[in-house]
Structure 1
Amino acid sequence: MSDSKEMGKRQLGPLVYKIPSSQEENNQMNVYQELTQLKAGVDRLCRSCPWDWMHFQGSCYFFSVAQKSWNDSATACHNVGAQLVVIKSDEEQNFLQQTSKKRGYTWMGLIDMSKESTWYWVDGSPLTLSFMKYWNKGEPNNLGEEDCAEFRDDGWNDTKCTNKKFWICKKLSTSCPSK
């Protein structure tokens, strides 16, 4: 090989090595795709509600799989930074009624312990007339010191607070950091 060809090879050598082969391009593309998928997975880890909670209209709901008394249910909600569900809209009522129907009789955060027939939510707000339509026919009837409200298949019922029922906790959803 002539000196000029050898010199040309030495000068082009670094350039040849910088051009990736098609196999290297494929490998880089695969790595890039895997990183993109991993990032998307990590982004999904930021959830507005904990994994075992349901999201609805800016709030998170936990539907228990065990049964407890009303007081024990309220404590369970408090222990996870929530409270027994306080219903604020007809849409929320419909969502909760349909979801709790699948589980069975379920506590909500509505009681009349302070004064008979004066119903208050656990957040201190009174039960408004617009929600009276959700009581089952003849309810609330206060048969035998029934001071706590539950969801039944077809509406609300007042029942003894010591009975064991499923329960629903509610807390505000969180927002994920923007990307």
Structure 2
Amino acid sequence: MSDSQAVKGSQLSPLEEDQAMVTTGYSFKRWTFPPTSGFRSVAGCLGHRLAPLILQLLSFIILAGLLLAVINQGSKLLGSQSQSEQELYQELTQLKTAMGSKLLGSQNQSEQELYQELTQLKVALDRLCRPCPWDWTSFQENCYFFSKSQRNWKNSIKACLDMEAQLVVIETEEEQSFLQQTSKNRGQTWMGLSDLNEEATWKWVNGLPLLHSFHKYWNKGEPNNADEEDCAEFTGNGWNDAKCDNRNFWICKKSSSICSSSD
């Protein structure tokens, strides 16, 4: 069998021929085709193989374009949002500062006004005439301080002197009644009376002797000078002599202030 007959007996399709040429490395000169039929065969083969690739490429390009457009628009929106947030933050900060300044100014103004009012009130109180100092009690043109602490008799005298007063000296029956009633609810309370200088001779801290008419204020059986009791105290409904080292409450006395008519 001749070569031409072998070729005719084993004639291949165009696709198989193309594959055979690529595989065997034969040139086109090995095979002869009519010009028109060969071109159409190759174009059809290429079109069949490249069509999916072209569609994929076009899809990729479109998707890439859409992605770039989305990213660009997102950047614009993000920048706009950030700018809006910054502007809003600045506006809120300015508003807060303005309100704070107003409130601070109002607060300072209120404090200043309050301070001025308190100052004026203090001046008015200082000019106000009081017959007795604060925490003192006024009675019949005298001022009395009733202690909240306890001391012995001599230290009670010193405490009154420190307040420019003296341990109470009783001068009238009304004063005695007032002091006795006030001291009754407090307990033992010193008065400025003792017989330290001479036994049974009772004298006040101002050196004046105890009037005979006042002896009726001693409790029954007192003074009895039991165990060297030389200082007088208010206790119960009357007076009692007690040891001067005992710790009692105490009462200071001084004359009340005289207010002038201009005050």
Q: Which residue of 2 aligns with 1:88?
A: 171
Aligned-partner SS, 1:65: coil
Q: Does 1:164 align with 2:228?
A: no
Q: Which of 236, 239, 249 is matched with 1:153 structurally?
A: 236
Q: Which residue of 1 aligns with 2:145?
A: 62
Which one has a larger percent strand, Structure 1 or Structure 2?
1
- Residue by residue, what CA displacement relative to the aligned partner does 1:79-134 show, whole Å, maximum 9, x if unpaired? 10010000001000000001111211100000000110000000100001100000
| Rounded Cα–Cα distance in structure 2 between residues aligned with 1:132 and 1:119 | 10
Q: Which residue of 1 aligns with 2:221?
A: 138
Report deviation, 1:166. Answer: 0.1
- Residue by residue, what CA displacement relative to the aligned partner does 1:4-44 show, whole Å, maximum 9, x if unpaired? xxxxxxxxxxxxxxxxxxxxxxxxxxxxxx9xxx6xx6488
Aligned-partner SS, 2:241: strand
Distance 1:50 1:134, change over 3 A: same
Distance 1:166 1:177, change over 3 A: same
Q: Which residue of 1 aligns with 2:162?
A: 79
| Rounded Cα–Cα distance in structure 1 between residues aligned with 2:218 and 2:153 | 18
Identity %: 65
Gaps of 5+ in 2: 1-116
Q: State the AA in 1 paired with 2:210.
A: L
Which one has a larger percent helix, Structure 1 or Structure 2?
2
CA RMSD of aligned residues (A): 2.0
Q: State the AA in 2 paired with 1:161.
A: C
User: Please, what TM-score do these two structures have when normalized by structure 1?
Assistant: 0.76
| Rounded Cα–Cα distance in structure 2 between residues aligned with 1:43 and 1:94 | 33
Q: Which of 193, 196, 200 is matched with 1:113 structurally?
A: 196
Q: Which of 77, 93, 97 is matched with 2:180 structurally?
A: 97
User: Aligned pairs, how many?
Assistant: 144
Relative contact order higher in (CA < 8 Å, ≥ 6 apart): 1
| Rounded Cα–Cα distance in structure 1 between residues aligned with 2:197 and 2:172 | 24
| Rounded Cα–Cα distance in structure 2 between residues aligned with 1:134 and 1:126 | 15
User: Please, what TM-score do these two structures have when normalized by structure 2?
Assistant: 0.52
Larger radius of gyration: 2
